[in-house]
């Protein structure tokens, strides 16, 4: 008979081997191998933004690289490429289906797999952007139109501030795309965005991922907002927790500075 100590040791070794096998499968020599694995999957995907330097391995070696995608089925795509659940987003032994990690030459790289039905953007828009995707330097990206309008949405409604960097990028993209940019104001870009949303039947809604905000105060046409009470409560709880932590940190710093 196998004693408890031996059985625990065997269980540990099996778990260790599985962990190392998973990590080895998630480790790539370079970004080109990652792209090859993505393209070999039957799951349609597109890089959401910031893909100009995507193929530069140095970016990931410096620890500044992360990859944001939209796809049909995040769990299947993650399985196909060997991505691992992000340790910071595992609850009850299970990942959330969005946040993953891979390794490029041993360096951890975050991989956010936004997917149809996650309300990162409304579902119809997510389906449309995948149907309109285009191939670029060997990988798939959004169409110029979808890139421009999704970046407006992201920069204003999903970020804390509408930064000067986003303003400059959107102005250049708009001019290249043939859109007259009359102002760098939030109201101008939101009006531009909402005209596009009305044309295609898109709407705002709280993302399922509570870590992604929706800055409702900037919505101009309230009829474009689809309200989900349960998601609203989740976001409210999370935002309240974050603000409380920020307040406690400020109080701690004041106390330490007095000392």
pLDDT in tens, 88-131: 899 888 899 999 999 998 889 999 999 999 999 999 999 999 99
Domain coordinates of the chain in residue numbers? 1-141, 143-227
Consecutive H or E run containing 45:
strand 45-47
The predicted-structure confidence for 239-254, as pLDDT tens digits, reads as follows 999 999 988 988 888 8
Bridge partners of residue 135, in order along the sequence: 140
Q: Where are the beta strands (DSSP E) in 116-154?
A: 134-136, 139-141
CA distance 196 to 100: 32
The predicted-structure confidence for 180-217, as pLDDT tens digits, reads as follows 999 999 999 999 999 999 999 999 999 999 999 999 99
pTM of the entire structure? 0.85
Does the pLDDT value for residue 6 go beyond 90?
A: no
Query: Residue 110 to residues 57, 107, 217, 218, 235: CA-CA distances in angstroms?
Result: 14, 10, 30, 29, 23
CA distance 214 to 205: 8
Q: Is 203 exposed, middle or buried (0-12, 13-18, 19+ CB in 10 A)?
A: middle
Beta pairing class for 134-136 and 107-115: unpaired
The predicted-structure confidence for 156-169, as pLDDT tens digits, reads as follows 999 999 999 999 99
């Amino acid at each position: 008979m196998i004693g408890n100590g031996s059985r625990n040791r065997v269980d540990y070794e099996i778990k260790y081997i599985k962990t190392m096998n998973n990590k080895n499968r998630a480790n790539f020599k370079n970004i080109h191998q990652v792209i090859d694995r993505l393209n070999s999957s039957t799951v349609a995907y597109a890089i959401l933004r910031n893909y100009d330097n995507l193929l530069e391995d140095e970016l990931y070696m410096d620890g500044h690289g992360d990859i944001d995608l939209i796809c049909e089925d995040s769990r299947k795509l993650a399985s196909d490429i060997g991505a691992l659940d992000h340790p910071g987003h595992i609850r009850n032994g299970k990942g959330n289906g969005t946040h993953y990690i891979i390794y490029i030459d041993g360096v951890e790289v975050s991989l956010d797999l936004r997917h149809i039905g996650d309300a990162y953007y409304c579902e119809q828009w997510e389906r449309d952007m995948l149907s309109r995707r285009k191939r670029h330097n060997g990988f798939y990206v959004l169409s110029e139109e979808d890139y421009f309008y999704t970046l407006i949405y992201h920069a204003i409604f999903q970020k804390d501030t509408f930064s000067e960097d986003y303003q400059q990028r959107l102005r250049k993209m708009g001019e290249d795309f043939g859109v007259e940019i009359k102002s760098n104001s939030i109201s101008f870009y939101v009006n531009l965005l909402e005209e596009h949303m009305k044309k295609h039947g898109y709407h705002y809604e709280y993302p399922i991922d509570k870590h992604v905000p929706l800055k409702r105060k900037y919505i101009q046409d309230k009829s474009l907002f689809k309200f989900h009470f349960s998601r609203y409560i989740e976001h409210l709880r999370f935002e309240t927790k974050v603000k409380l932590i920020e307040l406690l940190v400020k109080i701690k710093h004041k106390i330490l500075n007095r000392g």
